[in-house]
Amino acid sequence: MSCYRVYALCYARRTGRRGQNFCGYDEHWDEPHPTAYYVWLAVSDEHTVVVDTGIGPSRADGFSDYVNPVRLVEDIGVRVGEVDRVVLTHLHYDHTGTAGSFPSARYVLQQSEVDYWTGPWSSRISREQWLLDKEDLDAVLGSGRVDLVDGDAEVLPGLSVHLVGGHTAGMQVVRVATARGPVVLASDASHFYENIEDDRPFPILHSMPGMYAAFDRINALAGDPSLVVAGHDPEVLRRFPAETERIARIA
């Protein structure tokens, strides 16, 4: 079984309000609530996999501590040409921004996610359109290097994707075999640890029942809850050993 080293790379930050991050009434709704933005990297002796590609420079206004996510990948010693898979957990702009920067990679995303954003009704779903970057999507689909999957799939030995839905129609999480056991990169299926640990979904969502089902699926896939990696929680940089102030070694 292939074993991966897994990293979380924090490329930007933003401070919102608690009420923006949890469904339901919260008496502390108006308190500041920091959000961190990550891409993830899984490296084995044979493969280099980037999970999500962050925000591109053209949409980085309004975020603090921004660096181009590609630069962070290179900081770990990975050349973009070595990346052989890019998994896109979903198609929100803060997960696709530098997708065109990996000239040899095959892109892995869910068919249902592409269908949702490109289907006959997509342009009428105006409350969500701002979350898609059409140029990013066109770069991926036009690359000729796309593997559309439907449900659960092994991408490489020891690295699999799992359709969970909830946050978006085709939201997928990534399970990675490591020396510590299976790590689950939850991405936006759980923005913060508080979402999954206190059973309180994030309010930008496609399906509320899907959000809860995603929590259960993530916990089942991880086995050990300490190996779940939340998608936007600054806490990731405290729960896992820091290599630099932006990079945590998950396993």
To the nearest whole angstrom, how small is the minimum distance from the Cβ of residue 45 to Zn ion? 32
Q: In the complex, what is the shortest distance from the CB of residue 200 to Zn ion, in angstroms, rounded to a whole number?
A: 16
Q: Where does this chain touch Zn ion (CB under 5 A) — which range of 38-46, 154-162, 182-190, 208-216? A: 182-190
Work out whether strand 32-43 and strand 5-17 pair parallel, antiparallel, or are unpaired: antiparallel
* Under rule CB under 5 A, residue 191 binds Zn ion: no
The residue among 38 and 66 lying less far from Zn ion, judged by its C-beta, is 38
Least distance to Zn ion, CB of residue 90, Å: 6
**Is residue 232 a contact point for Zn ion (CB under 5 A)?**
no
Task: Give the footprint of Zn ion on residues 57-86 (CB under 5 A).
Answer: none
- C-beta closer to Zn ion: residue 156 or 169: 169
Strands 247-249 and 5-17: antiparallel
Residues contacting 201, CB < 8 A, separation 6+: 22, 23, 166, 195, 208, 211, 212, 215
Taking CB under 5 A as the rule, does residue 92 contact Zn ion? yes
Count of residues near Zn ion by CB under 5 A = 2
3-class DSSP string for 131-172: CECHHHHHHHHCCCCEEEECCCEEEECCEEEEECCCCCCCCE
Asked if residue 150 lies in contact with residue 192, where contact means CB atoms within 8 angstroms, the answer is: no
Sheet holding 146-149, edge to edge: 146-149, 106-110, 85-87, 48-51, 32-43, 5-17, 247-249
Cα(187)–Cα(171) distance, integer angstroms = 9
> CB-wise, 85 or 90, nearer to Zn ion?
90
- Secondary structure class of 81 (helix, strand, coil): helix
Chosen residue from 113, 188, 194, 233 binding Zn ion by CB under 5 A: 188
Phi-psi region of 181 (alpha: psi -120 to 50; beta: other; left: phi over 0): left
The answer to whether 246 contacts Zn ion (rule: CB under 5 A) is no
7 vs 93, which CB is nearer to Zn ion?
93
Q: Residue 89 or residue 178: which is nearer to Zn ion going by CB?
A: 89
Does position 162 bind Zn ion by CB under 5 A? no
Smallest separation, CB 186 to Zn ion (Å)? 11
The region of 5-13, 54-62, 147-155, 184-192 touching Zn ion under the rule CB under 5 A is: 184-192
Q: Which is nearer to Zn ion, 47 or 92 (CB)?
A: 92
CB 92, min distance to Zn ion, A: 4
The distance in angstroms from the start CA to the end CA of the chain is: 16
Site residues (CB under 5 A) for Zn ion? 92, 188
